[in-house]
């Protein structure tokens, strides 16, 4: 896997309060010239191109954060629509959808350059994640059902001994509801 190189900027080495002020200026659409002037006024030398590169990286980071928040909001909306779906399933559905969209949007030239082995490995990993989640759901449901059955047995045994009339009435009610 390709190691991502961390970008270092002159602005990153500024004192925290000055860097925070520069971040806010960038978010508030100050011009690069104004930002350079502000930094120089605080005793640091910097070029307009350094500010531009830093602002581009900051804006890209903010855009990625906004996209992640939007994706999370979409997942939460989907899980709220379907009461039996949890967040994990929503994330897996979103990932699957993005993979299919990406594959469908490839041109013929891009298709020629795909590393199909890597694509298959990632697809298998996604399928395993889905299968693992389903297995966990089944295991949890079985455990919950076993616990509920044991609790029901204990309650009914105690009720049959201590309040036989109530026991008969509840058993009759349950039988009627099952039909």
Summarize pLDDT for 7-63 with one digit per residue, the tens. 678 898 899 999 999 999 999 989 999 999 999 999 999 999 999 999 999 999 899
- What are the C-alpha distances in Å from 65 to residues 11, 45, 70, 132? 20, 30, 9, 28
Summarize pLDDT for 82-100 with one digit per residue, the tens. 777 766 777 777 777 777 7
Q: What percent of the chain has pLDDT over 70?
A: 93
Q: Please check the confidence at residue 2 and state whether its pLDDT lies above 60.
A: no
State the DSSP code for 168: H
Read off the pLDDT band of 79 (50, 70, 90): confident
For position 7, what pLDDT does the model report? 65
Q: Please check the confidence at residue 71 and state whether its pLDDT lies above 50.
A: yes
Vertex 177, ends 172 and 179: CA angle to 5°? 100
Summarize pLDDT for 117-162 with one digit per residue, the tens. 887 787 778 777 777 877 787 777 777 777 777 888 888 888 888 8
For position 53, what pLDDT does the model report? 92
Count of CB atoms situated within 10 Å of the CB of 72: 14
- What are the C-alpha distances in Å from 76 to residues 80, 92, 98, 160, 178? 6, 13, 17, 45, 35
């Amino acid at each position: 896997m390709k190691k991502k190189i961390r970008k270092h900027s002159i602005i990153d080495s500024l004192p925290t309060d000055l860097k925070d002020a520069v971040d806010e200026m960038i978010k508030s659409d100050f011009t690069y010239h104004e930002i350079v002037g502000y930094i120089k006024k605080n005793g640091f030398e910097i070029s307009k191109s350094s500010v531009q590169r830093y602002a581009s990286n900051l804006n890209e980071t903010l855009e990625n954060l906004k996209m992640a928040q939007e994706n999370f909001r979409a997942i939460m909306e989907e899980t709220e629509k379907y009461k039996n779906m949890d967040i994990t399933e929503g994330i897996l559905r979103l990932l699957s959808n993005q993979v299919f969209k990406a594959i469908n949007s490839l041109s013929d030239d891009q298709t020629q350059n795909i590393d199909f082995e890597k694509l298959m490995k990632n697809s298998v990993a996604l399928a395993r994640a889905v299968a693992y989640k389903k297995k966990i759901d089944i295991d949890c449901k079985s455990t919950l059902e076993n616990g509920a059955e044991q609790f029901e047995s204990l309650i009914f045994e105690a009720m049959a001994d201590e309040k036989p009339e109530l026991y008969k009435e509840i058993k009759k009610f349950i039988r009627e509801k099952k039909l």
